[in-house]
Amino acid sequence: MKKYALTTSRSFAAVCALTAATSAMADIGFPAAVTLCRGAAPQGTLIGIKQRERSNTWIYEGELYNAALTTAWGPRFNRETGAAMGVDVDTPNDSDIPVLQEIFDRLDEAVLDFADAMPLANEAAGRTDVMRMAFDLEAGILAFQVEYFDEQTKIYVDSVTGGVIPHHGADDDIEPTVPSTSFTSAVALAEDTLGAGWVSFGGESETEGAGTIVTVDLVNLKTGSLAQIDVAGANVIRIFEYEASGTQITRMNAIRAAWPMVVTDLAAAVAAAEAAYPGAGVNEVELEVETEKTGTTVAWRIGVITADLIEVDYFVDATEAIGAGFRFAAAPVNAVAGDINGDGAISAADLSEILATWGRVNPPMDLDGSGLVDAGDLSLFLALWR
């Protein structure tokens, strides 16, 4: 995937040409202002840019630093014409340096640039009046913090994936979670219930009635059979054993083939997420196996909601002991209801998956939870397919 340079080699003459081309506009816009700021201080790295009023004139003002964090540049441009209005040069505040250093240490991870992040933030906010954009570390994610002129709306865009990081309020209708210890206890109970040969490859917290249950997904490594067990507290309340169908077969074959590589199991991965986010609740865990030209990646994805009510996907390398492999956070990718095969869309392919399991037990296809894949599931699916 292409990475965008965070500094620019564009000559200042080219920047001036851009200014002339946009001078007829009432507002040159953030993308042009970003280019102008980088051109005015090419020796610095752009960390943030904002628009504000100064001496009765609206301006764009950049925030750039050198790699040693000993010098800060603040280039200023007329918001309407793009005309240069000077460059402030200063020394960063000592109190800001630790956070800036953390950001600088992660900048090579960024895939998106300011111009890429802004429309994503605008779509999520339902606004276009951006006041400020700046790199920030949010729940362990290198993100763009985008602030708006209402001085209340803030959107955080993952600079790697482009996903918007959800921030919830105390009264929000958020995904159900359980403490990490409750999740791992449910997994252990599910594995003990089925016995040797069965391993957990995922699970999810779900609300049922007045309480929360943990649904654990398991595969028999020898036979390829699947099971889903619902656990409430210390009790198993439901067991479904079934055979893989459609894309489930491909996925289970990949997991079974990769399992000898697994060093860190589900419980250890969840414990790592708890260590990274003390007090977080666990919503979902899934073993993801991806094979590319460079090789096979086997990782646990742990969906958590932090104590600050920030929703995060935390990834742990399953092939290395905790501390030796990669651990990183990303904006969550939430499943689309009705997307059976997980390709991000509801289509005829998903309908085929449902029809192939008609009249059988297959919990992922059983959309209405009746116990069988039947007309109720088809009706629900068709309502989702628009």
Please name each of the domains of the chain with its CATH number: 12-158 (3.10.450.40), 178-330 (no CATH), 348-384 (no CATH)
How many angstroms separate the CA atoms of 144 and 133, rounded? 6
pLDDT at 337: 77
pLDDT at 11: 43
Q: Convert the pLDDT of each residue in 131-174 to its tens digit.
A: 999 999 999 999 999 999 999 999 999 999 999 999 998 778 88
pLDDT at 14: 43
| CA contacts within 13 A on the Cβ side of 320 | 11
Q: Digits of tens for pLDDT over the chain (386 positions)?
A: 333 333 333 344 444 444 444 444 479 999 999 999 999 999 999 999 999 999 899 999 999 999 999 999 999 999 999 999 999 999 999 999 999 999 999 999 999 999 999 999 999 999 999 999 999 999 999 999 999 999 999 999 999 999 999 999 877 888 899 999 999 999 999 999 999 999 999 999 998 876 899 999 999 999 999 999 999 999 999 999 999 999 999 999 999 999 999 999 999 999 999 999 999 999 999 999 998 878 899 999 999 999 999 999 999 999 999 989 899 999 998 777 788 877 777 888 888 888 888 988 888 888 888 888 888 888 888 888 86
pLDDT at 29: 95
Contacts of 190 (CB under 8 A, 6+ apart): 200, 203, 216, 218, 229, 231, 236
Q: How much is the pTM?
A: 0.85
What is the DSSP code (8-state) at residue 187?
A: H
What is the DSSP code (8-state) at residue 386?
A: -
pLDDT at 169: 87
pLDDT at 77: 97
Residue from 144, 148, 70, 81 nearest 112 by CA:
144
What is the DSSP code (8-state) at residue 56?
A: T
How many angstroms separate the CA atoms of 45 and 60, rounded? 16
pLDDT at 7: 36
SS3 22: helix
